[in-house]
Amino acid sequence: MVWVSNQSGTCLNVSITARSGGSAAVFPVEHALEAWGINHWQRAANASETAVIRLGGTSVTVNDVKGTDFILVYKDGIITIPDTNQVYFS
């Protein structure tokens, strides 16, 4: 599952290719409380997808998006966080 978190302060328009299933349509992602039906894209964990994120008049393409990635979008940058093993303090 790709999760897109909108921290930009405005509405985004997001599309993610559908090589591994799902829809490649453009969907709005509001800057609001996050929810499964808005922020989640179902994709295979090992698929290599492409996300296009539109903020205002600017588009950014994010390549090699995996189905378990977390994408944080700010008004001046994008951070992709891959799924990795977690380490905890004990």
Q: Give the model confidence (pLDDT) of 25-71 as tens digits.
A: 999 999 999 999 999 999 988 889 999 999 989 999 999 999 999 99
Distance of CA 70 to the CA centre of its chain: 6
3-state secondary structure of 39: helix
Give the pLDDT of residue 89: 79
Q: Phi-psi region for residue 67, left (φ > 0), alpha (ψ -120 to 50) or beta?
A: alpha
3-state secondary structure of 12: strand
Give the pLDDT of residue 72: 96
Q: Which residues contact 12 (CB under 8 A, 6 or more apart)?
A: 4, 6, 28, 29, 31, 53, 54, 55, 73
Give the pLDDT of residue 1: 84
Instruction: Please list the residues that pair with 58 across neighbouring strands.
Output: 55
pLDDT at residue 86 greater than cutoff 80? no
